[in-house]
C-alpha cells in the first residue's frame, strides 16, 4: 500500500500541513511534534510523491541534456560532468540522444517533454536557425557546442578557430609543413568542422605552408567515427598526398587515421605527426598516445548548468536577460603522437 501525507497526518494526530512542514524541514515546528511525526514517517515508510510535488510547484527540478550520442566518449564524459554538477545543485538530469538528426533536435527544441523538464541543454548538429526561431514557447534553453546561431539563447562553446589554430601551429612548430586536415564536411557553413578548418587554413596560409587552397591536404568525412577517420586517411594517401602531419577533427577521427597510417607502414610521429581534438580517455592509450586539444569539460558542464539555472532560479528578470555566450577554455595536451623528430 502506498502511504501519503494524509496517512501520516492521521496516524500522528496532526494536520497534513504539519507533516509537510516536517518533511520539508520547516523551522517553526516544536521538537516534540517533529519527533512524533518523524517517527510515524519512519514507521510507515512514507516517501513523498515527487510527481505531486512537481505539479503543485509547477517545477520538477529536472533538466534535460540532449546529446547526439553516448557512443562518442567525448559526449559520455561530458554527460558525466553535467550529471554530477547538476546533482550537487539538487537538479536531476534527464539524458537524451538525438542521433544528430534534425527532426529529433527540432523535437527537443520545440518542447518535447514539456513541463516534465524545467529546461534544456541541447547540443545540436543539424538544427537550423529557423528551427530555433520557430520555437513556440519559452522554456529556458542552453545551446552547447560549436554551431553558431542567431537566436536569443545562451550558448556555451570553446573558441574553435583559436583552438584549431593552436593545434595547427603546434604541428608547424614541430617543423612539419604538409599538414593535412582530416574531417572536413560538406554543406552548412556554420558547422563546427568549418571553424576548425578555418583555423587550420588561416595558420597554414600565414606560414606560407599552404599552396593554393590546400585541397590536396583536406579529407572530408561523412561522420566523426574512428571508421570515418580511417577511411579519410586512406583516401588522402591513395590520392597521392604525402602529409607529414595531420590535424584531425576529433580524437575518434584521429585514432582511425592513425590506424590507417600504421597499416600503411607509416610511423607516428616519425613519419606523420597527428593531433586530435576532445581529449577523450582512449587517446592516452593509443599505440602512440594522442596529442590533442582538451576542451575544459568541467567548465563547459558548469557553464551550461549555471546558465540554465540562472534563468530557472533567477526570477522574471533573469528569465529574459540577454543571452550569455560563454567560452570555456581549452588546452593543448602534448603526447607521443607529436613528439619531435628524433
Q: Show the binding pattern over residues 84-103: x = contacts a copy of itself (CB under 8 A), - = does not.
A: x-------xxxxxx------
> Nearest approach, Cβ of 81 to a copy of itself (angstroms)?
10
**Interatomic CA distance for residues 196 and 337, integer angstroms:** 19
In terms of DSSP H, where are the helices of 24-124? 31-44, 50-57, 73-88, 102-109
Question: Using CB distances below 5 to 8 A depending on partner kind, what does residue 222 bind out of a copy of itself, DNA, none?
Answer: none
Nine-digit cell string for 17? 500541513
Q: Which residues of 158-179 are buried (b: 16+ CB within 10 A; e: fewer)?
A: bbbbebbbbbbbbbbebebebb
Closer Cβ to DNA, 1 or 189, answer by number: 1
Footprint on residues 187-216 left by a copy of itself (CB under 8 A)? none
Residue 305 in 3-state DSSP? Answer: helix
Closer Cβ to DNA, 14 or 301, answer by number: 14
Question: Using CB distances below 5 to 8 A depending on partner kind, what does residue 129 bind out of DNA, a copy of itself, none?
Answer: none
Binding residues for DNA (CB under 7 A): 2, 4-6, 13-18, 20-21, 23-24, 28-30, 32-34, 48-49, 52-53, 55-58
What is the full DSSP assignment across 82-139?
A: HHHHHHHTT-EEEEEE-TT-HHHHHHHHTTTTBTTBSEEEE--SS--HHHHHT--S--
Q: Does 296 bind a copy of itself (CB under 8 A)?
A: no
Radius of gyration for the alpha carbons in the chain, expressed in angstroms and rounded: 26
Closer Cβ to DNA, 26 or 334, answer by number: 26
Closest Cα partner for 332 from 272, 303, 291? 291
Question: Using CB distances below 5 to 8 A depending on partner kind, what does residue 5 bind out of DNA, a copy of itself, none?
Answer: DNA
Cα 189–82–142 angle (5° rounding)?
A: 45
Q: Does 52 bind a copy of itself (CB under 8 A)?
A: yes
The stretch near a copy of itself (CB under 8 A) out of 9-17, 29-37, 190-198, 254-262 is 254-262
Question: Using CB distances below 5 to 8 A depending on partner kind, what does residue 70 bind out of DNA, a copy of itself, none?
Answer: a copy of itself
User: What are the residues binding a copy of itself (CB under 8 A)?
Assistant: 2, 45, 47-52, 54-55, 60, 69-71, 73, 76-77, 79-80, 83-84, 92-97, 111, 113-116, 136-137, 226, 230, 255-256, 258-259, 262, 281-282, 284-287
Amino acid at each position: 500500500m502506498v502511504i501519503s501525507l494524509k496517512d501520516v497526518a492521521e496516524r500522528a494526530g496532526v494536520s497534513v500541513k504539519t507533516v509537510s512542514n516536517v518533511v520539508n524541514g520547516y523551522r517553526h515546528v516544536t521538537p516534540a511534534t517533529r519527533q512524533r511525526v518523524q517517527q510515524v514517517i519512519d514507521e510507515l515508510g512514507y516517501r513523498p510523491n515527487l510527481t505531486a510535488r512537481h505539479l503543485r510547484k509547477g517545477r520538477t527540478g529536472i533538466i534535460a541534456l540532449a546529446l547526439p550520442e553516448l557512443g562518442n566518449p567525448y559526449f559520455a564524459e561530458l554527460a558525466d560532468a553535467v550529471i554530477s554538477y547538476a546533482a550537487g545543485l539538487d537538479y536531476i538530469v534527464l539524458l537524451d540522444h538525438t542521433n544528430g538528426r534534425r527532426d529529433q533536435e527540432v523535437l527537443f527544441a520545440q518542447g518535447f517533454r514539456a513541463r516534465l523538464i524545467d529546461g534544456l541543454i541541447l547540443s545540436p548538429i543539424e538544427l537550423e536557425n529557423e528551427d530555433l526561431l520557430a520555437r513556440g514557447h519559452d522554456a529556458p534553453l542552453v545551446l552547447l557546442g560549436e554551431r553558431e546561431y542567431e537566436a536569443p539563447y545562451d550558448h556555451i562553446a570553446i573558441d574553435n578557430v583559436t583552438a584549431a589554430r593552436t593545434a595547427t601551429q603546434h604541428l608547424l612548430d614541430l617543423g612539419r609543413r604538409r599538414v593535412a586536415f582530416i574531417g572536413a564536411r560538406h554543406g552548412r557553413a556554420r558547422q563546427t568542422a568549418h571553424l576548425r578548418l578555418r583555423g587550420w587554413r588561416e595558420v597554414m596560409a600565414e606560414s606560407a605552408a599552404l599552396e593554393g587552397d590546400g585541397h590536396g591536404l583536406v579529407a572530408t568525412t561523412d561522420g566523426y567515427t574512428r571508421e570515418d577517420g580511417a577511411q579519410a586517411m586512406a583516401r588522402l594517401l591513395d590520392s597521392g598526398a604525402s602529409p607529414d602531419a595531420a590535424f584531425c577533427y576529433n580524437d575518434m577521427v584521429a585514432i582511425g587515421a592513425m590506424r590507417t597510417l600504421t597499416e600503411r607502414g607509416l610511423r607516428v610521429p616519425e613519419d606523420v605527426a597527428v593531433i586530435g581534438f576532445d581529449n577523450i580517455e582512449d587517446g592516452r592509450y593509443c599505440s602512440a598516445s594522442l596529442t590533442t586539444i582538451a576542451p575544459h569539460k568541467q567548465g563547459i558542464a558548469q557553464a551550461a548548468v549555471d546558465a540554465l539555472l540562472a534563468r530557472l532560479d533567477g526570477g522574471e528578470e533573469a528569465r529574459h536577460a540577454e543571452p550569455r555566450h560563454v567560452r570555456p577554455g581549452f588546452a593543448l595536451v602534448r603526447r607521443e603522437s607529436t613528439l619531435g623528430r628524433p
